[in-house]
Structure 1
Amino acid sequence: MTNSKTTATGAQKKRQQVLIWTVIIGVTVGACVLGAITGDSDTTVPAPAADERSGTVPILQAAADSQGICYGWRLLDGYDPVSVGSNLGDGTPVEDAAGCARWIEVTANVFYTSSSSESNDSAAIRVRGSSDIEFSDLSAIESGLGRFGLDEDAFVDEPGWAVTRAATMLPLLATERGLADPAAVPTAEPATPAAPLPDAGSDFWRDRWVLLLTTVGLFLAAALFIAVGVRQRNRQRREAGPAQRAGAGPAGRTRENA
């Protein structure tokens, strides 16, 4: 009878070990599959909000009317245009526009990378203009944007807000370079974002919180199975101990030998 109990205990132990390893393997495979599905974050460059675009156009209109220079903005996602606008209106480029012999435009090309990529997000900011405006003046205007906090980090964090804000700074910087007289005081203030935009590209924690929570839940389930298995094994050992001792006689002899 003791051998039968021992055999049954061993078989049950093996089944428990198989169950535990099955759960662990399932947790690992599930985490890998979920990671492959949700690993890449959205790399789309967001366009300026409607209020940012509508608030920028009248400012550029006032500056163009008083200075005789057209101003605009252009936001790109790699080679794909995201937003374009000018003193002529949202969606109207300033280059080659009728009535804009002289023009200045800020162009921002934002590059977002996936969360799994080792490359960092980046942005290239350029100031372009009509042929009658010297390259040195355009370069100075481009460098001057940094004085207003419109550097690469600002364009990476909030590209829509940054490009429209940069456009409203062009008349002031053009005045500093002696390209035009000071612009008329605008009747509207540059729009500010209603709420900070989320970081894009390589933010691991933001884009993978579902994966992390799911993985933690799976591992907790595995730990629960392991704890139950260990508890059952200890209980079986305690129950098997008295039975084995009862089958032995004095001086280590079994009852059958006695």
Structure 2
Amino acid sequence: MWGGIAVAAVLGIVVAVAALSEDNSLVVPPPTTTEQNDTVALLRDAAEQQDICYGWELRQGDGDVVSTGSNLGVGISVVDHPQCPRWLWVAATVDYTPESSEAEDFARVVVDGSPEFSYDLFALETSLSRFGLDGAAFLAEPGWAVTRAAVSLPLLVVERGVVSPEPVVTSAPVAAPSPLPAAGSDLWRERSGWLIGATGMVLIAVLLVVVGLSQRRRQRGEAAVTARRGKGSASGRPVKRA
């Protein structure tokens, strides 16, 4: 009798542990603290140069917000924020399904923004795949993917000509006309090429830094996808694709 009770107790513990493990595997992981802080710093620099607020939001499949942030800080959304009349953000929803379910894992990524960007939103959204930010990336490492997508937006808007790559320069008003106005114009023309080139190099450097910092995370994500597919194949389920 006591032996049967002990066996039942052990089986109950095993079932409970398995259920908890499955529940944990369905939780969408947020970006790490380092990823969030680094992303905020990069977005702040871009916002100061381009006069556009940038941000991100990551949601669980049930609609719960997992992570949000912007150039204004971690946890601060740019949508309808009084400091952000012009804004763009990446909004991603990730839904993991149990291994026993026939439904596939799901990732949906959209780029949204203030009205003046309405004609460019779809193009910006589809351009994210050029950085490896497709559905598979968001399923593998959703926190890493959504923050990297956010820092890609400033580069994409420059590429599409939505904003100028040149930094905004504010000068004091001139009290009286200069006796040689052409000299100032010539000086600006001589230096404008250098400024454009330097700004472009800075933007490229930012992207390279982000890629370098997140490379380890990307590799871990690919390993997770491989393990998940292997598990699906072993259990007789079809391998899920984004």
**Global fold match (TM > 0.5):** yes
Whole-angstrom distance in 2 between the partners of 1:168 and 1:47: 16
Cα contact 1:115–1:204 (8 A) shared by 2: no
Which one has the largest radius of gyration?
1
Which residue number in structure 1 is paired with residue 86 of structure 2? 102
The Cα of 1:37 is off from its aligned counterpart by 5.5
- Count residues with an aligned counterpart: 182
Task: Judge conservation of contact 1:172–1:182 (CA < 8 Å) in 2.
Answer: no
Q: Aligned pair 1:192/2:176, yes or no?
A: no
In structure 1, the partner of 2:149 is 166
Match of 2:57 among 66, 74, 78: 74
For 1:114, what is the secondary structure of its paired residue? coil
Q: Structure 1, residues 14-45: CA drift from partner, whole Å, max 9, x if none?
A: xxxxxxxxx9xx99xx7798457615342110
Query: What letter is aligned with 1:150?
Result: L
The answer to whether structure 1 residue 154 and structure 2 residue 137 are counterparts is yes
Query: What is the alpha-carbon root mean square deviation over aligned residues?
Result: 3.2
Say whether 1:85 aligns with 2:60: no
Q: Tell which has more relative contact order, 1 or 2 (C-alpha 8 A, sep 6+).
A: 1
Map Cα deviations across residues 189-237 of structure 1 (whole Å, 9 max, x no partner): 324275525748x948779xxxxxxxxxxxxxxxxxxxxxxxxxxxxxx
- How far residue 132 of structure 1 moved from its aligned partner, in angstroms, is 1.7
Give the partner amino acid of 1:143: T
Please, which of 142, 148, 161 is the counterpart of residue 178 of structure 1? 161
Secondary structure of residue in 2 paired with 1:72: strand
Aligned twin of 1:38:
18
Structure 2 portions without partners, runs of 5+: 167-198, 233-242
Cα contact 1:111–1:121 (8 A) shared by 2:
yes
Report deviation, 1:118: 1.7
Amino acid at match of 1:110: V
TM-score (norm 1): 0.61
Alignment partners' CA distance in 1, 2:102 and 2:18: 17
Structure 1: distance between partners of 2:16 and 2:147: 36
Aligned-pair distance for 1:99? Answer: 2.1
Q: Which residue of 2 aligns with 1:116?
A: 100
- Taking structure 2 as the reference length, the TM-score comes to 0.65
